[in-house]
């Protein structure tokens, strides 16, 4: 049961990955270790060589599950000798707290010492000597992310400079603990500045940016894609199914009904309060579901094919809670969207814009 997946370069790093990446933030919350290991086994069996995680996972974030996902992956490596060498492993250092003081306290500014210590913790939990792609999960500086619409300079506060953060990454690369570095939830300014500093000071050049990209959030196309194209930085698209909204499973019930299908949007009130829980997001998802069915596709096929076939995307990060979901996501590879269908997608976006930005 293999998949015919090619490999692509990540930026200028030399890392080659499959265009589908297994995201793991459900491991340790919705998915217990035995099931997580089965999913990892199946992904590898089907040709996926790219795994993404983070020190703060599982999600929803809680003190008692912080680091649980990395620990589960580390146990998978330990129980399957040789598997570590078959995959490209990505993880992330968390930015400032955002209500998670159990990580590094409320005053974290992503200093050099914090980045180095975070990496050491990830290496221990992952039971590996090197992280292939080490990413800054979200900026330490004040930026409009996770559903915020506007940049407000009055909210700026002290934090480690981008130069200091990049120097910490350089230290980890020199020590052989990290192969390449990346960003996440970044802006065009941030990507430009990280690349400029790397070139000016001989520091590691960011290979990737991991940002949301899906039918309900195409803000990457509002300038970040141009930045990444010209600077040779690859996009890792997360939430291609918009936390399940774009699978069509909530079309009939919504996310609040007692009979809503199981899934993170129905299970967790904290998720309902985020951008994916906006009524406009579900309303627009229903429009895309109807469009998919009109063209003989499932909503999942449409949403994933949109990401899989876009020139902006190097690798699409899929998150699953079962083998059936994993197979469905992998089976969508190779689905093509006609010019007529792409035009209809753009018409919905023009009308609804990006309701889950």
Q: How far apart are CA 48 and CA 330, in angstroms?
A: 9
- Angle formed at CA 209 by CA 208 and CA 212, multiple of 5 degrees: 140
pLDDT, position 3: 65
Tokens of 264: 């993170």
Which three-class secondary structure state does DSSP give residue 179?
strand
Q: Which residues pair with 133 in a beta bridge?
A: 90, 180
Nearest to 67 by CA among 107, 38, 109, 25: 25
pTM above 0.95, yes or no: yes
Q: Work out whether strand 16-17 and strand 8-9 pair parallel, antiparallel, or are unpaired.
A: antiparallel
Which three-class secondary structure state does DSSP give residue 252?
coil
Positions annotated as catalytic residues are 57
Which three-class secondary structure state does DSSP give residue 316?
strand
Q: Is there a cis peptide before residue 243, judged by omega within 30 degrees of 0?
A: no
Tokens of 240: 């291609």
Please report, in tens digits, the pLDDT of each residue of the chain (357 residues total).
556 899 999 999 999 999 999 999 999 999 999 999 999 999 999 999 999 999 999 999 999 999 999 999 999 999 999 999 999 999 999 998 888 999 988 777 999 999 999 999 999 999 999 999 999 999 999 999 999 889 999 999 999 999 999 999 999 999 999 999 999 999 999 999 999 999 999 999 999 999 999 999 999 999 999 999 999 999 999 999 999 999 999 999 999 999 999 899 999 988 999 999 999 999 999 999 999 999 999 999 999 999 999 999 999 999 999 999 999 999 999 999 999 999 999 999 999 999 999
Mean pLDDT of the chain: 96
Q: How far apart are CA 106 and CA 100, in angstroms?
A: 7
Share of the chain above pLDDT 70, in %: 99
pLDDT, position 2: 54
């Amino acid at each position: 049961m293999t998949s015919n997946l090619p490999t692509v370069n990540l930026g200028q790093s030399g890392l080659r990955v499959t265009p589908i990446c297994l995201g793991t933030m459900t491991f340790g919350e919705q998915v217990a270790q035995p099931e997580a290991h089965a999913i990892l086994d199946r992904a590898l069996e089907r040709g996926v060589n790219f795994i993404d995680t983070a020190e703060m996972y599982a999600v929803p974030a809680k003190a008692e599950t912080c680091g649980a996902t990395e620990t589960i992956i580390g146990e998978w490596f330990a129980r399957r000798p040789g598997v570590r060498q078959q995959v490209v492993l990505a993880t992330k250092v968390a930015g400032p707290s955002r209500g998670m003081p159990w990580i590094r306290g409320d005053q974290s500014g992503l200093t050099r010492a914090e980045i180095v210590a975070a990496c050491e913790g990830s290496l221990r939990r992952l039971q590996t000597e090197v992280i292939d792609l080490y990413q800054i999960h979200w900026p330490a500086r004040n930026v409009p992310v996770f559903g915020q619409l506007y940049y407000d300079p009055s909210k700026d506060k002290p934090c480690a400079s981008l130069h200091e953060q990049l120097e910490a990454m350089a230290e980890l690369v020199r020590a052989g603990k990290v192969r390449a570095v990346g960003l996440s939830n970044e802006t065009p300014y941030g990507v430009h500045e990280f690349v400029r500093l790397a070139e000016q000071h001989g520091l590691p050049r960011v290979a990737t940016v991991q940002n949301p990209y899906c039918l309900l959030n195409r803000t990457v196309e509002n300038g970040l894609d141009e930045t990444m194209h010209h600077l040779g930085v690859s996009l890792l698209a997360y939430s291609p199914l918009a936390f399940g909204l774009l699978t069509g499973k909530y079309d009939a019930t919504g996310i609040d009904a007692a009979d809503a299908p199981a899934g993170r949007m129905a299970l967790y009130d904290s998720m309902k309060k985020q951008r994916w829980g906006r009524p406009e997001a579900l309303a627009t998802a229903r429009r895309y579901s109807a469009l998919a069915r009109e063209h003989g596709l499932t909503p999942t096929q449409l949403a994933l094919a949109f990401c899989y076939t876009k020139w902006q995307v190097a690798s699409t990060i899929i998150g699953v809670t079962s083998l059936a979901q994993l197979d469905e996501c992998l089976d969508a590879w190779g689905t093509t969207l006609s010019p007529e269908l792409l035009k209809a997608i753009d018409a919905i976006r023009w009308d609804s814009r990006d309701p889950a930005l």
